[in-house]
Chain A
Amino acid sequence: MRILQALRNKSIREGLLRSLGNLGAMVEENLKRYPYLLEYAEELKAAKLEVARNYDYWLDKAVRRAEEKASVYIAKDGEEACRIIGDIIGRGKLIVKAKSMVSEEIGLRSYLEAENEVWETDLGELIIQLSNQKPMHVIAPAVHFSEREVIRILGKLGIEGRNAEELAMAVRNFLRQKFLKADFGISGCNAFAVETARIFLVENEGNIRLTTSLPKAYIAIVSLEKLLPNDELALKSIIVQSAFVGTFPPSYINIPERDGTHIVFLDNGRSEVEEGLEEQLTCVKCGRCQLECPVYQIIGNVWGGETYSGPMGIGWSAITNTLENSYDMLFLCTLCGKCEEICPMKIDIPRIIRHLRKTLAISEDPHEPPPKKVKFFKNQG
């Protein structure tokens, strides 16, 4: 039913194809102008696999370094992460959030909204918050809404404007007051350098810079696949992430170093992946595979898992234990191979999807979950 509704919704196709047109050309230009990007991507994949082979070691090291400058917590799963962050914040606080897929993964906003005032500060993500939907794309969450629809959605807040520019300026004024009064700022993390415990974040709007610096305290959620040995690799990771989806150079690179920082390291399935899914952990979540996927171009984020959609969303949903409700999605993939072809990490996503189909097929009851995961990477490094 959801698929049929998505098929009838022309604005999904229009929005995604418009983004592909705008950003796809930029990717080609980036690769031509900066040939070192391909070398960075290769180096990054090797480093990410190496770290993933021994997350226990790298997490331990990251925690020890981070404790020198921040309050540090380890969350085994999303529920624990929400509880930890909820305890740090308490009740009745004003919270500004940067757009973060990992916070979507753990359902953080709705958890905190029960007892606090929470604002998404990325324009697209604010539109998603107000429309009570999930992001359509990792970097362009509201790409499927027309200007007219955005006028209606932002009108719920009393924010008025006749066009994109007026709406953006009205949102700027509205959220500036929230930034100045906020008790907590929350962000994810694009890359984490273990050696220095530095958090690297990229953006274009400037909301992350304000979120991480203005509030009285700052909370960063760092999922394990973001760990990299040193600053140089972390920097290369954010370069690759932005270049391969066409937003390079990003307007801002932020490396928050401030008092009142809390770092929550999140596992949520990453340290125990079944054999066959390990390559997914090298994904930088640039979102290019979403835009290039012929199925995604037609039905958008309906194709994939609950949080992570599109080709990369299948692997991430399996890792974060949310694929169970989306098994049918495995069979929407045409195995055309476009996602692997354009992936900066060259992740063989069709192989991951075939692997998950096989796992499902050998189960006696297709509604039963696949076999329990094993600690594949442990002690192999």
Chain B
Amino acid sequence: MSENYFKMLIEALERNSVEVILSPNPKEEAKKYAGAVVGFAASAAADVGVIFFTGSELKRSALADHHVAVVERGAIMPDIIAAYRLALSKSGKILASSSASKTADIEGKLVWGMHGPRKFTVILEAEKNEDSASVKE
């Protein structure tokens, strides 16, 4: 995984209005989100910010108000096709999310949390002292 993909993923997730947290120990960081449903990503597509999960995450995450995804560095792939392949190598049942649930069906007005999570947070495995600003430099 090149550093470039790491930076690309952060930018793509931010474009998708996803909250991005960088942590050298993402599993520990995830414990802070007691009220949320935390899932471990099977893979992530850097260019578009699509996160793949295995099917075991399906119902819990679909019904959650706040969905938190933990993404390890090795799971970051350049694009959706590569991320799909990696996820499929881990499980035959997969799904993907790129943002919180949303709709613009009434006068084009954007509303978050239509049927699924109102908020989507991605905790990315980072190097020590690495934060969003330093990655983008």
Chain A window 144-159, contacts with chain B (Cβ cutoff 8 Å), 1 for yes, 0 for no: 0111001000000000
CB–CB B95/A253 < 8 A: yes
Complex Cα–Cα for A207 and B102 (A): 10
* Interface of B: prevailing SS: loop
Please tell me if the beta carbons of A127 and B80 are within 8 angstroms of each other in the complex: no
Contacts of B90-137 to chain A: CB distance below 8 A: 92-109, 111, 113-117
Determine whether the beta carbon of A123 is less than 8 Å from that of B48.
no
Q: How many B residues face the partner with a CB closer than 8 A? A: 39
Q: Do residues A249 and B48 form an inter-chain contact, with CB atoms below 8 A?
A: yes
With A206-B115, A249-B48 in contact, is A213–B109 under 8 Å at CB? Answer: no
Let me know if A123 and B114 touch, CB within 8 A: yes
Of A167, A231, A252, the residue contacting B95 (CB under 8 A) is A252
Stretch from B19-27, B30-38, B55-63 that touches the partner: B55-63
A248 to chain B, nearest CB (A): 7
CA–CA, A237 and B101, complex, Å: 22
Does B50 have its Cβ within 8 Å of any Cβ on chain A? Answer: yes
Residues on B with C-beta less than 8 A from A253 are 50, 95-97
Is B84 interfacial (CB 8 A cutoff)?
Answer: yes
Q: Which residue of B lies closest to A18 (CB)?
A: B108
Smallest CB–CB gap between B92 and chain A, Å?
A: 7
Q: A249-B98, A251-B99, A251-B100 given as contacts; is B107 within 8 A of A164 (CB)? A: yes
Contact B107 A205 (CB under 8 A): no
Are A210 and B62 touching (Cβ within 8 A)? yes
Cross-chain contact B107 with A19 (CB below 8 angstroms): no
Tell me whether B1 is interfacial, beta carbon within 8 Å: no
Asked if B62 and A213 make an inter-chain contact with CB atoms under 8 angstroms apart, the answer reads yes
Residue contact B114 to A168, C-beta cutoff 8 Å: yes
A363 on the B face (CB < 8 A): no
A239 CB–B CB distance under 8 Å: yes
User: Are A213 and B104 touching (Cβ within 8 A)?
Assistant: no
Q: Determine whether the beta carbon of A204 is less than 8 Å from that of B97.
A: no
Cβ B59 vs Cβ A214 within 8 A: yes
Interface digits, A47-77 against B, CB 8 Å rule (1 contact, 0 not)? 0000000000000000000000000000000
Cβ-closest chain A residue relative to B55: A257
Within 8 A of A (CB), among B45-95: 47-50, 55, 58-59, 62-63, 79-81, 84, 88, 92-95
Tell me, in angstroms, the Cα distance from A88 to B48 when the chains sit together: 39
Taking a contact as CB atoms closer than 8 A, the residue among B94, B98, B116 that contacts A250 in the complex is B98
Q: B residues near A, CB below 8 A?
A: 16, 47-50, 55, 58-59, 62-63, 79-81, 84, 88, 92-109, 111, 113-117
Residues of chain A touching chain B, judged by Cβ–Cβ distance below 8 Å, are 15, 18-19, 22, 33-34, 36, 121-124, 127, 140-143, 145-147, 150, 163-165, 167-169, 171-172, 175-176, 179, 204-207, 209-210, 213-214, 231-232, 235-236, 239, 248-255, 257
